[in-house]
Amino acid sequence: MTRKERYKEVIEYFTKAMPEAETELNFENTYQLLVAVILSAQCTDKRVNMTTPALFQKYPNLDRLSKAEYDDVFDLIKSISFPGNKSRHLIGMAQMVMEKFGGTIPMTVEELVQLPGVGRKTANVITSVIDNQPNMAVDTHVFRVSARIGLTVNAKTPLATEQQLVSFVPTDLVYKFHHWLILHGRYTCLARKPKCTECGLTQICKYYNKTIKAEGMKSQGV
């Protein structure tokens, strides 16, 4: 099977299995999504969603957040991982948007990564979700699942994974593909113990055919 054929199969499978894939973070506008994605680093979306309502109530926009006190923000997000760094990043991000970008969150990856707490992954999420730009955010799930299925080959970094995925996935599906892989990694292709018996990709998955299936045959003395 060629890599192109593997991508075709994966797209066909997810189109049927997950037609409505989208982010599990709750947000109502660009500001809220940016804050939620910054908070979600090494933290579950569920935890972020429990935290953001109170934060958005106190700081409903960038202007208000840019004038926030560190201790007040810390208090509202202390149940999230790395609350100290994230409090500084949120306030710093809001201040930079107000001072450098005239109060409007920029919509290019190059500009977004200048903001405190915003790396390439976050910038790709914002530009793809808000502006439908064909940018692929690679988190731990996307990195692992792509490699297991065989969508990426010898990709040693998130950037290498991003470049390989973007070169094969049709432009209009990049945004959705990102969510397919995240949700698949979160609920089925788990890091320690992938639920292969519940997965519809066993026929084409490199990891399954090389590791899981081979181990099963070995234990049966085949």
Q: What is the DSSP code string of 139-190?
A: -HHHHHHHHHHTSSSS--SHHHHHHHHHHHS-GGGHHHHHHHHHHHHHHTS-
**Does the protein bind ligand SF4 through residue 205 (CB under 6 A)?**
yes
Whole-number Å distance between alpha carbons of 130 and 114: 18
Whole-number Å distance between alpha carbons of 45 and 23: 9
**Does the protein bind ligand SF4 through residue 199 (CB under 6 A)?**
yes
**Does the protein bind ligand SF4 through residue 121 (CB under 6 A)?**
no
**Does the protein bind ligand SF4 through residue 149 (CB under 6 A)?**
yes
Q: Is 205 annotated as a binding residue?
A: yes
CB of 176 to ligand SF4, least distance (A): 17
**Interacting residue with ligand SF4 among 11, 160, 202, 213 (CB under 6 A):** 202
Whole-number Å distance between alpha carbons of 5 and 11: 10
**Does the protein bind ligand SF4 through residue 140 (CB under 6 A)?**
no
**Interacting residue with ligand SF4 among 148, 176, 178, 179 (CB under 6 A):** 148
> Which of 7/27 has CB closer to ligand SF4?
7
Look at residues 13, 8, 34, 12 and name the one whose alpha carbon lies nearest to residue 23: 34
> Which of 50/191 has CB closer to ligand SF4?
191
32-40, 101-109, 115-123, 199-207 -> range binding ligand SF4 (CB under 6 A): 199-207
The catalytic site residues sit at: 121, 139
Beta-carbon count within 10 A of 110 CB: 8
**Does the protein bind ligand SF4 through residue 61 (CB under 6 A)?**
no
**Does the protein bind ligand SF4 through residue 183 (CB under 6 A)?**
no
**Does the protein bind ligand SF4 through residue 196 (CB under 6 A)?**
yes
Q: How many CA atoms lie within 13 A of 1 on its CB side?
A: 16
115-123, 129-137, 165-173, 186-194 -> range binding ligand SF4 (CB under 6 A): 186-194
**Does the protein bind ligand SF4 through residue 188 (CB under 6 A)?**
yes
Instruction: Convert 166-179 into a string of H (helix), E (strand) and C (coil).
Output: HHHCCHHHHHHHHH
Spell out the long-range contacts of 43-49 with Cβ–Cβ below 8 A and sequence spacing 24 or more: 43/80, 43/81, 47/79, 47/80, 48/80, 49/24, 49/25
Chain positions contacting ligand SF4, by CB under 6 A: 148-149, 188-189, 194-196, 199, 201-202, 205, 207-208
